């Protein structure tokens, strides 16, 4: 049991590398700018709602892989029309580009923070749209792709698992030392930690912050479905419901990400100051 605890604690080193180190020898571990791109199909209207979660406005254009025979049009939730072109097919994979409403193709358009982009078929009776792959080309940053996004998530989850195991080992080691000294054990609750994280989720304003916290509380703590939780908030428009449903878990993920990175640093300091007994 002692060896197992030490092995678990040793996992802190690779966890810190995955969560805190962005480059090794000048080469990024996860390439590309994290745009936080998400999309969701609206079955009632056969259109797609596309969203980003960036620190501010971004100028970019998009390439989407989607098999759809109908002509498409795109606009933002603020009513700004965009240009949609059928890109040259790569084998049997058709791609669509979305750019500024300009005579020239692939001209970056301004995508304001918190604004949704709607992609709709001109044929209202068409089947719902489906995105198989995507690429986003910011004007002044590295491109983001579905493959890069999946790689970043895998690295984060792997680091999170390793850090969790390391923390479990550290807790077990601490509990064992306390138990041997006859001191009472301290209670530890994952739900309590989750509630504290939810309470620190921030929206664009006080009202949105409260809505996000209520939504996360209902879904993660009370077990309510995301659809029922969003409906209970009684928002004024479908666009606001989609925006809140996208941004709330993203902001919680960012808060958790920051906490994990900070815990990784503290864990390394603790291990340096108080190395486990051999």
Digit-coded pLDDT (tens) for 159-180: 778 778 778 777 777 777 766 6
The domain of 16 spans 1-31+152-188
Read off φ and ψ for residue 216, nearest 5 degrees: -65, -35
Provide the domain count of the chain: 3
Same domain, 161 and 27: yes
In a domain, 77, yes or no: yes
Structure confidence at residue 182 (pLDDT): 53
Percent of the chain with pLDDT over 70: 75
Same domain, 19 and 5: yes
Same domain, 161 and 173: yes
* 3-state secondary structure (DSSP) of residue 130: coil
Kindly report the number of other CB atoms within 10 A of residue 93's CB atom.
12
Whether 137 contacts 58, CB under 8 Å: no
In a domain, 165, yes or no: yes
* Stretch 224-229: mean pLDDT: 80
Please say which residue of 106, 141, 176 terminates a domain: 141
Whether 245 contacts 232, CB under 8 Å: no
In a domain, 147, yes or no: no
Q: Which of 33-42, 128-137, 185-194 has the lowest mean pLDDT?
A: 185-194
- Give the contacts of 207 (CB within 8 A, at least 6 positions apart): none
* CA distance readout (Å), 105 to 62, 83, 210, 266: 11, 8, 41, 50
Same domain, 202 and 246: yes
CATH number at 92 reads 2.60.40
Please say which residue of 74, 107, 141 terminates a domain: 141
Q: What is the pLDDT of residues 5-16, one digit of tens each?
A: 666 666 666 666
Q: Is pLDDT at 254 greater than 90 in this prediction? A: no
Same domain, 178 and 212: no
Same domain, 254 and 174: no
């Amino acid at each position: 049991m002692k060896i197992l605890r030490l092995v678990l604690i040793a996992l802190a080193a690779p966890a810190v590398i995955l969560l805190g180190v962005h480059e090794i020898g000048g080469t990024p571990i996860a390439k590309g700018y994290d745009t936080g791109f998400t999309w969701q199909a609206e079955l009632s209207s056969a259109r797609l709602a596309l969203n980003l979660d960036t620190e501010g406005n971004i100028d970019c254009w998009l390439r989407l892989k989607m098999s759809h025979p109908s002509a498409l049009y795109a606009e933002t939730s603020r009513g700004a029309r965009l240009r949609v072109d059928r890109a040259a097919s790569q084998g049997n994979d058709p791609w669509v580009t979305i750019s500024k409403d300009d005579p020239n193709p692939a001209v970056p358009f301004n995508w304001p923070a918190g604004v949704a982009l709607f992609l709709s078929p001109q044929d209202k009776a068409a089947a719902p749209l489906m995105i198989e792959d995507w690429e986003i080309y910011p004007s002044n940053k590295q491109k983001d792709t579905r493959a890069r996004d999946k790689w970043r998530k895998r690295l984060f989850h792997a680091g999170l698992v390793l850090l969790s195991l390391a923390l479990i080992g550290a807790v077990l080691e601490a509990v064992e030392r306390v138990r041997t000294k006859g001191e009472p054990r301290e209670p530890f609750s994952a739900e309590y930690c989750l509630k504290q994280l939810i309470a620190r989720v921030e929206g664009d304003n006080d009202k949105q912050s409260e809505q996000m916290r209520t939504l996360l509380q209902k879904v993660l703590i009370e077990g309510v479905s995301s659809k029922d939780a969003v409906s209970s908030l009684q928002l004024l428009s479908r666009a606001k419901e989609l925006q809140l449903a996208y941004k709330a878990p993203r902001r919680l993920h960012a808060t958790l990400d920051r906490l994990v990175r900070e815990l990784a640093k503290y864990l390394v300091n603790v291990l340096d100051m108080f190395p486990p007994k051999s």
